[in-house]
Chains A and B, each alone.
Chain A
Amino acid sequence: MTNETLAGYSNLALYSAMGVLTLAMIAYAVFLARLVPHRERLRDEGAERVEVREAVHVGAGAPAAGGGASARPAADGAGLPAEPLAARKAAGVAGSLTWLGTGLLIASVALRGLSVDRAPLGNMFEFACAATAFALAAYLVWGTRRDLRWLGLFILVPIVLILGAAMTVWYAPAAELLPSLKSYWLAIHVTVATLSVGLFTLGAVLSLLYLWQEHRATNEITGGFMSAFPAGKTLERMAYGVHIIAFPLWTFTLIAGAIWARQAWGSYWNWDPKEVWTFVIWVIYAAYLHARATSGWSRQAANWIAIAGFLAIIANYAIVNVYFVGQHSYSGL
């Protein structure tokens, strides 16, 4: 029933994607490494100039540092561009490699689907590939609307790690599905689940960066590569923006899963460990949204809840799938 040739090509595409994405990750690291010292110098010079100008009452020119990576030249007329050419080159290479790697990853998922003649979402390996493809696609599409090059390294590190785990620990050969998985709900329920996990990954990275940025602000830490990142408030808002897309999708996952459970197992809610964890994750992110809307709670506490939610997603995936006894035993391990 499985087409071994296509399955082979799928794996080849996956290995290539992994290699290309690793290179993209390195290129993004180079981008930050070249950008940050330059930014710091720019800020120091800008600050000096401000002092000089104030001394002679010429008026303050705003220093350009700390405002996020911007391709525009610095506004203070120092003659230095906001980004050195080397950084811009590295970012360009990284961006192209990310597009290529994402394309290869999507090709790998599609070939896997064609080789087994079904939605390629039947086991942990396939789920991990699809979720990372969604996370990358979300990052790239969002990146066409605003400058997200600073995020590249931080989104690629978890993705390369997840793909690495998928290819080694979770790998399952292309095969036909168990009867309980043979349903069009597989395509509906699991596609949306992978999409929302991809978005939650993006949201968790942004929440972490926000908390880091806040930590720097409260301890008055300046410099370091985080100075090339947007301000905490912007990061927090971006994290929230991602989470409020992911949360309704996760709600849909829960509902679609319940409908499918009724078709396959006879009852829409069986307190199966995977159901319980999906529900718990939903509750944690609901708590995040409440914490964010509650005036007495700080934004930082709310974002810690979001990160707890992501840890629960990881536990649900890596632990519940493999070690807990339940009806969602499709890990293929």
Chain B
Amino acid sequence: MRTALLLLLLLAVAALPGSVWPQRSIDAARTADYIAQHPTAGPILDRLGFFEVYASPWFAAIYLLLLVSLLGCVLPRSVQHWKAMRARPPRAPRRLERLSAHASEEVDATPEQVLEAARDALRRRRMRVHSHDDSSVSSEGGYARETGNLVFHIGLVVLIVGFAYGHLFGWKGDVIVPVGQTFANTLTRYDTFSPGPLVDTEELDPFTIRVDRLDARFEENVQAKGQLGMPRDFTAHVTTTASPGAPEKSGTIKVNHPLEMGKGTAFLLGNGYAPTVTVKDAKGTVLYREATPFLAQDNNYKSVGAIKVPGDGSSTRQLGFSGFFLPTATVDEATGPTSIFPDAKNPVLVLTLFEGDLFPEGRPQSVYTLDTAKLTQVKDAKGEPLRIWLEPGQTLQLPGGRGSITFDRVDRFAGLSIRDDPGKWVTLGASLASLLGLVGSVVINRRRVFVRVTPAIDAGRTVVTVGGLAKDDDASMPEVVTEVLAQITQKAGR
């Protein structure tokens, strides 16, 4: 127990760094930022595992030791408890007066009658009763305390098993689906996908989800300070099929109301804007027409994104637009174009144009930014970098016969996260069992109550003594003893 106690305290201390430093598994970008800002401490902390605390060897060492210590304690105790529950209560001590809780009285009945009354009273308290001799009754009760205690601890072990099972066989994937588009649950369709080590990614359920509409509501009531523009409701209206071609079903996905899709649950964890942009070349051929998601950077959805137009594929004349989408645009004198409200009240695309090789050496890159290593910025007639400011429906002719860009319209996108955790029911069941066991182990008291009879000086009368022994800190033991004595004397007669 002392080991377990030290390990518990150690676990508490070891878990804290993960809340102080950014964690790679939760927010990789913030972690990278932190390391970049702390060139001395960052790499050292990184090597020590402070950015992946819950996957670090030292954290694992503590909880594995705790698990071992837990099993080493609980298993022998379970065996012991199993035996104790079937064993007879121990022989009554010779002198019950020595027990801290005891009471005695003389009754007008024979020792046999008194003992019978005692057995009856103790059985009614649901105690296990046994007489080792003719002058005493031993009883024991409250075994459920230890049962609860063991259930609590075994429940914790099962909980960890469920947690581990979920990590091995569970998966999660995130995907951005603009309104009108359909998502099919295959590996290639995901923007990011993190499977557990034992997941067969070929065996994903082939369901599809089409996002028909996304409703977003923001606080417009200005009366409450700091509340303007706070999100109030997001609802994605979707049409789903269990597999491509199967009958369609309509449904909704809301925050707090995920959609269960067979082996996988769809959560609405993000949203934003996907402006539809058309880029044509000088001859009027459409090179690009897509709803392009822009990622929100702040609470007013100032969003960044990039439009990559490979054109005919020749590496010198590829066009790349990068910049902001502003749902309620305004130009701030200090910080430039920005958005002052999250809803699309005055949507504007603010872009700059680059030309050259969009995908140098085929390196992986973000879809929301341009890799400008092999790109040159396009200048306007005055020699300044070209600034594009487009409202929905507007078209701009690009300088130098590069064609045109049109901002057709803007839709929202749904940031869906699809997840499967096959271990969750094990974890839930185990945690509820643990809770029940815990409650049992604190409200039930393990008690031994002994009754001893001796013939009184007057014939036919008996002195009955009741003694109680509590296994744990039990303030109500004297009351129990008094109650038992009262029940015996009442039954056997004074």
| Chain A contacts to B: CB under 8 angstroms | 1-2, 4, 172-180, 182-183, 185, 237, 240, 244-245, 247-248, 251-252, 255, 258-259, 262-273, 276-277, 279-280, 283-284, 286-287, 290-291, 293-294, 296-297, 305, 312, 320, 324-326, 332
Contact = CB atoms under 8 A, between A and B. Distances in A.
A266 B54 contact: no
B23 A173 contact: no
B255 A182 contact: yes
A173 B224 contact: yes
Contacts of A265: 267, 269
Nearest to B152: A251
Interface stretch (B11-19, B317-325, B330-338, B405-413): B11-19
B256 interface: yes
Given A265-B267, A276-B18, A179 B5 contact: no
A178 B227 contact: no
B293 interface: no
Interface of B: 1-2, 4-5, 8-9, 11-12, 15-16, 18-20, 22-23, 25-27, 30, 53-54, 163, 172, 219, 221, 223-227, 230-234, 254-258, 265, 267, 269, 417, 419, 421, 424, 427-428, 431-432, 434-435, 438-439, 442, 472-473, 475
B256 A264 contact: yes
- Can you list the 6 inter-chain pairs with the closest CB atoms, starting with the nearest? A273-B19, A179-B255, A266-B267, A183-B256, A283-B12, A244-B442
A309 to B, nearest CB: 9
Given A179-B233, A248-B442, A276 B434 contact: no
A261 B233 CA distance: 18
A240 B8 CA distance: 19
Nearest to B156: A286
B421 A267 contact: yes
A238 to B, nearest CB: 10
Contacts of B19: 273, 276-277, 320, 324, 326
Given A268-B421, A287-B9, 14 more contacts: A175-B224, A175-B227, A176-B230, A245-B442, A255-B428, A255-B432, A266-B172, A266-B265, A271-B23, A276-B19, A277-B16, A279-B15, A294-B1, A297-B5
Contacts of A183: 256
Secondary structure class of chain B's binding surface, majority of residues: mixed
B267 A284 contact: no
Given A180-B255, A271-B25, A284 B12 contact: yes
A89 to B, nearest CB: 32
B265 A179 contact: no
Given A237-B475, A248-B438, A294-B1, A173 B227 contact: yes
Chief secondary structure at chain A's binding surface: helix
Contacts of A175: 219, 224, 227, 230
Contact of A290 (B1, B30, B269): B1
Nearest to A237: B475
Nearest to A269: B163
B5 A290 contact: yes
A179 B18 contact: no
A305 B8 CA distance: 11
Given A179-B233, A324-B20, A291 B5 contact: yes
Contact of A263 (B2, B225, B258): B258
Nearest to A316: B19
Given A271-B25, A280-B15, A179 B256 contact: yes
B35 to A, nearest CB: 16
Contacts of A185: 256
B435 A294 contact: no
B2 A296 contact: yes
Contact of A271 (B18, B20, B439, B475): B18
A266 B419 CA distance: 7
B220 to A, nearest CB: 10
B8 A287 contact: yes
A233 B20 CA distance: 39
**Interface-centre pick from A240, A245, A280 (highest chain B CB count, 10 A):** A280
